[in-house]
Amino acid sequence: MAATTPATPSPGAPGDRPELHPAGAPPATGGENPLLHAAKLVREAVPPLHPGGRPVIAAVAASAGAVRLLTGRGTGAGLLATVATAAFFRAPRRVPPLRPGAVLAPADGTVALISEVVPPAELDLPREPVTRVSVFLSVLDVHVQRIPMHGRIRSVEYRPGAFLSADLDKASEDNERNGLVLETQTGHLVGVVQIAGLLARRIRCDVQPGDEVAAGETYGLIRFGSRVDTYLPPGVAPEVSVGQRTIGGETVLANLAVEKDGPVTDAVVEDAVVQDAVVQDAGEKGRP
């Protein structure tokens, strides 16, 4: 029987063996400069700043520089104060979940209270008890506020008041606050109230009645410790618990498609589809 010689794989045949890089050569990066690529990764990891914080950051940095010029000391402390102030005003990008009828948390923080209450008069909502979800923000939390659902701003109302600790129940009625009512395309009304806290002395709201808004986009800011209340439509139960951490623009507080003992409605699902489309379009345009 004649001896057979094993077939030698063709060096050019795809899939016969892995393609190896020459010794010492780095993997291909598509022609991009490694340093520019690293800088891009660092830039994407650092969250952008809310415009409302820039004057404060500049003031802290200027004060630190003045102290350094006058005393020759305090460089480290000045840099630390400036970085800490910048971190407070961070506005990280968020990706809203694609969930029909989802009411998203308007702020980062901890669910401090869940109660059945009559909404405050300035919201101009029906005078009947609804579920209120209160999120408390510590000084370490992100302090920008976000739109909970796609819709249209129906009203915005500011009320002066006291500066009690934001985790107290009476802070909803006694503290300085700014409330808005969001109307969805299905006619649901969702109230959101920014409440100043013990240290907070400034509430900023960047939306006006008539504005069309998308879920997850930023609309306001509260400086240095605060609270945000969300008033759900009648009959809608919360999907969070007291003590739970929330991420603004991502955590689902409630679902309008699942009302108490009620079925999912076609209108709510249709509204959710429109909401998802608007959110995706906003993301493509680079909105936070």
For residue 168, the 8-state DSSP code is S
Residue 135, judged by CB atoms within 10 A of its CB (0-12, 13-18, 19+), counts as buried
Torsion of CA 191, 197, 203, 208, to 10 degrees: 10
Residue 99, judged by CB atoms within 10 A of its CB (0-12, 13-18, 19+), counts as middle
Q: Please state, in angstroms and rounded to a whole number, the distance separating the CA atoms of residues 281 and 215.
A: 11
Tokens representing 269? 């699902």
Alpha helices for 100-248 (secondary structure H): 171-174
Tokens representing 87? 């971190």
Out of 10, 165, 226, 241, pick the active-site residue. 226
Q: Is 165 a catalytic residue?
A: no
**Phi, psi (rounded to 5 degrees) for 15:** 85, -5
Q: Please state, in angstroms and rounded to a whole number, the distance separating the CA atoms of residues 66 and 117.
A: 50
Other CB atoms closer than 10 Å to residue 190's CB: what's the count?
27
Contact at 8 Å (CB) between 72 and 101?
Answer: no
Other CB atoms closer than 10 Å to residue 92's CB: what's the count?
15
Residue whose token pair is 């990066």: 29
What residues are labeled active site? 226
